[in-house]
Amino acid sequence: MTNKTGTVLFVDDEEKILKALKRLFRSEPCRTFFASGGPAALDILNAENVSVVITDLSMPGMDGFTLLDRVKAEYPDIIRIVMSGHSDTDTILNAINQGNLYRYIVKPFNEAELKITTKQAVELFNLQQDKRNLMQRLEEHNNLLEERVEKRTNQLLAIEKKAEIGKYASQIVHNMNNPLMAVFGSIGIVELMMKNANPDMDKLQKFLGIMKKNACDLKKIIRSILDHAREGGPSRTEPVNINEIIARALEFFELDSIFKYKIEKNISLTENLPFMKGDSIQIKQIMDNLIKNAIDAMEHSDKKCLGIKTGMENGDIIIKISDTGEGIAEEDLEKIFSPDYTTKPVGKGTGLGLASVKAMINAYSGKIKVKSEKGKGTLFTVQLPV
């Protein structure tokens, strides 16, 4: 459970500074610890659940930057603050911009300002902890749902291999995860931004827009359950902009910092690509599944590169989605579109993703092909008639 009062660790080699800080925070609700150097601070961090570290930079032995690097590596959730009378300003600003530091406080410090900054840092830590707990609970619920879907799907497949209604309905439930995660992710970011005295209204509007778009997608997905229960082709026809759907999918995945900063993106969307006729929510599910599969495939890869390319070929729209992930063994290539086949561990997938993708593409008289080599990545090519 999150400690709402917070625990703050002050690190400074000057005894008079530590005594002043003890007097200042004596009546504050947060728990406080004081260390005269980096090694002592690390001992405290190892023994206590610390929310915020406030450290001097110029200290004998282990300096402040070295300590902060250790804290970031070993305790990444802790909010990190520098309190120093002199340092390289450019280095400090660069550290703040890269997210290594929350704030920089100049010595001699203003007591009221220090109290306010410390309180805000504790609140930020608690907010982030609450968000992590919420996302963990959501993931647990999603895993439970996927397990139930998998169990039910296997029962249906045992009764009848061509149980299309059960297959489609299960995939629709599976596809609700993406917009639901987008909504929760945006809510968390908006909550963090609202903690600032002067939040960036343009960014707030951007994330509110993401929430609204994905809430509409959830509504459409729920409605499409009935549509999928009917046999035949797409449930409705409207002009669909493939490039716009891909751009929206990438905008959602950008909410994940690992995708945003750790994965190289090679995106080449042909301009003036003609619209196709179809159901936009189905096309979005196809793109979401293929992009998510590519991201998951690169989880343990040293080189993470996602490639997406659109174009025209023989009058059809072509979408190529590639990754530098684990790849697929040659003997498994023919199985990947089977509704009961998956390479993911239990709880990570139902095996319905690619089966449903292929079924939806077939409904448009389209084609999907795959090329892959174990350890070198995978390329999916989708062909859809205009």
Q: Is the pLDDT of residue 136 over 60?
A: yes
CA gap 223, 176 in Å, rounded: 12
Please determine whether the domains at 7-122 and 162-385 fall in the same fold group of CATH: no
Instruction: Return the half-sphere exposure (C-beta side, CA atoms, 13 A cut-off) of residue 205.
Output: 3
| Of 318, 328, 290, the residue nearest 306 (C-alpha) | 290
Poorest-pLDDT segment among 151-155, 281-285, 373-377: 151-155
| Bridge partner residues of 383 (DSSP) | 318, 367
Q: To the nearest 10°, report the CA torsion of 322, 328, 334, 338.
A: -80
| Of 380, 303, 298, the residue nearest 336 (C-alpha) | 380
Residue-averaged pLDDT of the chain: 81
Range among 76-80, 171-175, 284-288, 316-320 rated most confident? 316-320
What are the tens digits of pLDDT across the range 3-15? Answer: 567 899 999 999 9
What is the domain partition of the chain in residue ranges?
7-122, 162-385
Q: Is the pLDDT of residue 363 over 80?
A: yes
- The per-residue pLDDT for 290 is 92
CATH class held by domain 7-122: alpha beta
Q: Which DSSP helix (H) or strand (E) runs through 372?
A: strand 367-373
- Tell whether domain 162-385 is in CATH 1.10.3720.10: no
Look at residue 386 and give its three-state secondary structure. Answer: coil
- The per-residue pLDDT for 155 is 62
Rg of the chain (C-alpha set)? 26
Looking at residue 363, its amino acid is A
CA gap 322, 310 in Å, rounded: 12
pTM of structure: 0.44
What are the tens digits of pLDDT across the range 265-302? Answer: 999 999 999 999 888 878 888 898 899 889 989 988 99
Phi/psi class of residue 61: alpha, beta or left (left: φ > 0; alpha: ψ in -120 to 50)?
Answer: left
CA gap 241, 243 in Å, rounded: 6
Main-chain dihedrals φ then ψ at residue 32, nearest 5 degrees = -130, 145
What are the tens digits of pLDDT across the range 94-115? Answer: 666 655 788 888 888 889 999 9
Look at residue 43 and give its three-state secondary structure. Answer: helix
% pLDDT > 90, the chain: 35
